Chain A
C-alpha cells in the first residue's frame, strides 16, 4: 500500500515540478512578437503605399503577425511577395487580392514644375519624405527616395504629378536556355 502512496506522491511532485518549469519557460521564452513582425516586414517591398488597407508596410506586417490581415494584400509585392510570405509563415500561397490593386513595374513620381502651385499637400502625404518644397514654392521629388506609392496623386489640387517608369539598370539578357530534353528519334514499327 505504501508503495502505491509513494508512487502517487512522486508522480504528483513530478507533475507539479514539470508544470512549474513549463509555466516559467512559457513566460521567459515567449515567441518574440517583434522578431516575427520584423521578418514579415523584411519581405514586404517597403513601398508604404497603404493599398493593403494599413497605413504602411510595418503596420501591415503587425496585422499579419496578429492574424488580422491576409498575406495577399500587397500589390507592389506581387505574387512573388505572397509566395515569400506563405513560405515564411508556413501557409498555402494564394492569388493576389485583385481588389487591392495590381502589380505595376517600378515607377517614380514626377512633378510638372510649371503647374505646381506650391500647396505642400503632397509633401504631407508622402510616406517617405521624398518631396521637398515650401509653401508657394515649387516642389520636387527626390527620385532616389520615391517609392512610387501614388499617395501624392489624390491630394494634388492641380493634378501636376505624374508617375513615370523608373529607369531600370541594364541586365544582360538571358540566352535561350536549352530547357528542352535531348531529342530522341522515335522509331515506329
Chain B
C-alpha cells in the first residue's frame, strides 16, 4: 500500500472542465417534504445487483419502515415501505434503467396516516461489533445515495486490505444538482454522526469530507457540527477545486491522494472507501432513529421548471408529482433527465418513480436540447484527449467503435470511461461520443455473457457425453460378462431353466391382472 496523507495536499486529475454551476436557483428555498402521491411505485431492484426476495403480497397492509424485500447477500439491498398503506399489486412499471424499459414494482397506496414503525436500534452503537453494524446498515437498505446505488455493505466488508481512511464525497460537481449541498446545509450533524459510524464499520481512523471550494457556508456548518458532535473525532473538511468531474470517485481520490485507483482495482486497494455524504446521513438515521432508507433529497431543476427547488421525497413518488410540486413547467418540455446535464439519463416517462439513486430531475425545453449543428466527421483535433479525466484516447475509441472493432476499444480501456461527457461537450464536430462508448460497453458486456453461456453449454455437453459413455461401457461390460457365462453349456442350461421357472411363477401370480407396463 502506498503512502499518502489524505487531503493535506491537493493534487490534480487530468482533464476536466470548468462549468457554470447553475446550482443556486434550486437552493433559495428551504428543504420541504414533497407531497405524498396517490400511489407509490417501488421497483424491487433499486441498486446495482440482484433484487431481494419479495416479502409482501397484494392486499397486505404495511406500516412505514416495514421491509418489503429481504436481502440474502451483501449484493442485495432490501427496500422498505415509505409510508403506511396497502399493497395494491406487484406490477411492471416504467423505470429509468433500462431506458424506456419496465421493471417489477410494488405498488403501494398510502393510507394517509403515515404510521411508522422504527427498526430495532442498538442502545449504544459504539458497543456494536463492526459486522453487527454492517448487518444493521444492510437491513436498513443502505446503498450509495450519490447515484450509483452500490450496496454499501459490499463496500464496507469484503476481501480487501484493511481500510485506513474514509472519504465522504460532498463535492457534487455536475451543474444543477444541489441535493447534497442542501443536505450538508440542513443536517450537518447527521453527516458527522454517520461519518463516525461508517468509520467504525470500516475500521478507518481518518475521515475526510470533501466539498467544493465554492461551498464556504457548508464548510462552516460542517466544522461547527464536528465541534458539536465530537471535537476529538478524526474528521476533517477539505475543500477541493471545482472542476467537473472532480466529484467522481476515482477523480476525487486522485485529488486527495495523488494516486490513481488501479485500472482493474478498487479504492479499497489503496486502503480507502469513498461514500456519499447522503449515505452517511442515512447510516445515522438507520442506527439512531431506526429509519431505513425510505426517502431522499431530490433536486428538481432545469430551465423548464417554474420554481426549481430541493424536496425531501418518499421513494416511489412519480416524477410528475415532483414537477407539479415545483409549480410545474414553464412551457413545453422536450426532455426529462435523471441526473445532471453532463452525465444524466433521458427519461421515457414522467411516471417513472424516484428511487434511492435519483439525485436530480432536470426539465429541458426544446431550445435547450436542439442541436446547434449536425454531427460532422472527427477531425482529430485532440480536444477530447485534453479533457478526458481518465486519460483515455476518446477519438481512437470512437473510431474503433464505429468500425465495430470492439476488441481494440476494450484494449484502449473503454471500460475505464466514466461517461462524464467532457469529450462530447468539447467536440467541435458534435459527435455524441458517450453514446458510442455506452453502446460499445453494452456490446462487449453482452459478448461476455454469451461467451460464459457457451462455456457452460460446452462443459455440460461434455459432462453428459462422458456420463453416457461411462454408462454405455458399463452396459457393454455386463453384456460381455453374461455372454461369457453362457458359453459354458451346463450353466447356460441351468440359467434357461431358472428363467422359465421364474416366468411360469409370475404368470400364475398375475392371472387376471392387467399389469403395469411402465418402466
Contact = CB atoms under 8 A, between A and B. Distances in A.
A169 B461 CA distance: 25
Interface in A14-46: 41, 45-46
Contacts of A169: 442, 445-446, 449
A73 interface: no
A48 B436 contact: no
A56 B441 contact: no
Nearest to A149: B457
Given A177-B402, A178-B375, A181-B377, A172 B461 contact: no
Contacts of B464: 127-129
A173 B429 CA distance: 20
A10 to B, nearest CB: 53
B190 to A, nearest CB: 36
A179 interface: yes
A173 B460 contact: no
Interface residues of B, number: 36
Contacts of B429: 178
A58 B377 contact: no
A92 interface: no
Interface residues of A, number: 31
B465 A45 contact: no
B435 interface: yes
A173 B97 CA distance: 13
Interface string A92-124: 000000000000000000000000000000000
A175 B458 contact: no
A86 interface: no
Given A45-B454, A170-B101, A56 B461 contact: yes
B161 interface: no
A175 to B, nearest CB: 4
Contacts of A180: 377
B125 to A, nearest CB: 40
A171 B446 contact: yes
Interface string B462-502: 11110000000000000000000000000000000000000
A54 to B, nearest CB: 12
Interface of B: 97-99, 101, 375-378, 402, 429, 431-432, 435-436, 438-439, 441-443, 445-446, 449, 453-458, 460-465, 518-519
Interface of A: 41, 45-48, 56-58, 127-130, 135, 144-145, 147, 168-182
11 contacts: A46-B461, A58-B462, A128-B464, A129-B464, A135-B519, A145-B457, A171-B439, A171-B443, A172-B438, A174-B436, A178-B431
